[in-house]
Amino acid sequence: QKEVEQNSGPLSVPEGAIASLNCTYSDRGSQSFFWYRQYSGKSPELIMSIYSNGDKEDGRFTAQLNKASQYVSLLIRDSQPSDSATYLCAVVMYSGGGADGLTFGKGTHLIIQP
């Protein structure tokens, strides 16, 4: 079964520190990876997409991808209380017939402590 695994948390980080969120996936053929932020009771909001090995930076956010190890991570620098949310990792999975769709992890609950 194709899976995306995340530590559910909560992950507690002091304000101003770096928050590090990790995700592993089971499909070695996956090529497209996304991070979504979801506030309680709201819909997921796309933060980052990454398709190639290495780092991708956007403002305070950095996505890191290592396909050989099958993990993708999200770093949030200078964490703010407004970053407190659940962060969903999503991976495009494949089967013999092609892309099976976007599989989400259950998310990591991040708490930024003032």
Task: Say whether residue 19 binds another protein (CB under 8 A).
Answer: no
Task: Say whether residue 53 binds another protein (CB under 8 A).
Answer: no
Per CB under 8 A, the list member of 31, 66, 80, 113 interacting with another protein is: 31
Q: Give the count of beta carbons closer than 10 Å to the beta carbon of residue 96.
A: 5
Task: Say whether residue 49 binds another protein (CB under 8 A).
Answer: yes
User: CB 43 → another protein: shortest distance, Å?
Assistant: 4
Task: Say whether residue 104 binds another protein (CB under 8 A).
Answer: yes
Task: Say whether residue 17 binds another protein (CB under 8 A).
Answer: no
Identify whether the C-beta of residue 97 lies closer than 8 Å to the C-beta of residue 68: no
List Cα–Cα distances, 59 to 63, 79, 91, in angstroms.
11, 12, 22
Per-residue b or e along 69-95, where b marks 16 or more CB atoms closer than 10 Å to that residue's CB = ebbbbbbbeebeeebbbbbbbbbbbbe
Binding site for another protein (CB under 8 A): 4, 31-32, 34, 36, 41-46, 49, 88, 90, 92, 99-107
